[in-house]
A and B are shown apart, each in its own frame.
Chain A
Amino acid sequence: MTSAAGSDSAGVQAERTYLAWTRTGLAYLVVCALFLRRAGEGQLWFIALAAPAAGAAVGVLLRAHRRYVAMRTAIDAGDSPADARLILTVAGATALVCLTGLIGVFVS
């Protein structure tokens, strides 16, 4: 069994984090699908409510691989892989999705 501090630990840790990003992107897609389901019933303006979740899903899923590469590069260079701006952006996008969800509940 490889030690946590072993030479391949960086790859595994970054990979786990990449998978966490991917799961998060898929979670945005689920919220988007719930809105689009309502839009499919004829209430087309639910597409507007689905837009933030769809945008966040696409953004996170596209960004996940770049984030993985950036993590590996930072770790190999001995730098911190933390990215405060990205974290803040995701938190803001999630807050926006939550607000659209609240609007969706009130108008349903």
Chain B
Amino acid sequence: MVGEPAEGSAPDSAAPPGRRLWNRRRPRIEEVGERPDYRFTLANERTFLAWIRTALALVAGGIAVVQLVPEFSVFSGARHVLGVILIVLAIVVSATCYRRWDANERALRLNEPLPPSRLPLVIAAGSLVVTLLALVFIVFSKGTK
């Protein structure tokens, strides 16, 4: 499994297994496996930055929907509901993207398959919820006018 301390001793692969009991600290990335092709490392970094931009876009969307969109007539806090959902999604992305980068980098160094991520599913589901809510708010706002 990627990221477990026992896996991170590749440059020192001759170390006895008993050493793992003493060193429970997660090893630094440089200490794990061997140096991967730099193209993979840079691609991983660009993917991390893409997640960061996604988080920032969600924040910007959350702020914009509260500041720029006219109030829905369904109920007074409708815009805030959309904004809060978007920003909570952004918090989830920003809180997990480093861990994702770290897991990918360790997998690259250990020449293992990249670990799967549920983050795309979370973002897709969250976006769907926001879109459907916005649709409901728009439709019912028109109906009440």
What residues make up the interface of A, taking CB atoms closer than 8 Å to B? 4, 9-10, 13-14, 16-17, 20-21, 23-24, 27-28, 30-31, 34-35, 37-38, 71, 74-75, 78-82, 84, 87-88, 90-91, 94-95, 97-99, 101-102, 104-106, 108
Flag if B45 contacts A17 (CB, 8 Å): yes
Q: Identify which of B45, B46, B53 contacts A27 (C-beta below 8 A).
A: B53
CB distance from A93 to the nearest CB of B (A): 9
| Residues of chain A lying within 8 A (CB to CB) of residue B88 | 102
Flag if B41 contacts A105 (CB, 8 Å): no
B9 within 8 A of A: no
Flag if B49 contacts A20 (CB, 8 Å): yes
CA–CA, A94 to B90, complex, Å?
Answer: 9
21 contacts between A and B (CB under 8 A): A10-B38, A13-B42, A20-B50, A21-B49, A27-B56, A27-B60, A30-B60, A31-B63, A34-B64, A34-B67, A82-B44, A87-B48, A91-B94, A94-B56, A95-B91, A97-B59, A101-B59, A102-B91, A104-B66, A105-B66, A105-B80
- In this complex, what residue of B is CB-closest to A86? B45
Question: Lowest 7 A-B CB distances belong to which pairs?
Answer: A91-B98, A101-B59, A27-B56, A94-B94, A105-B83, A95-B94, A20-B49
Q: Identify which of B30, B90, B102 contacts A101 (C-beta below 8 A).
A: B90
Report the interface size for chain B: residues with CB under 8 A from the other chain. 42
Q: Which residues of chain B in 99-144 are interfacial with respect to chain A, using CB atoms and an 8 Å cutoff?
A: 101-102, 105
- In this complex, what residue of A is CB-closest to B45? A17
Flag if A98 contacts B39 (CB, 8 Å): no
Q: Identify which of B28, B35, B43, B56 contacts A31 (C-beta below 8 A).
A: B56
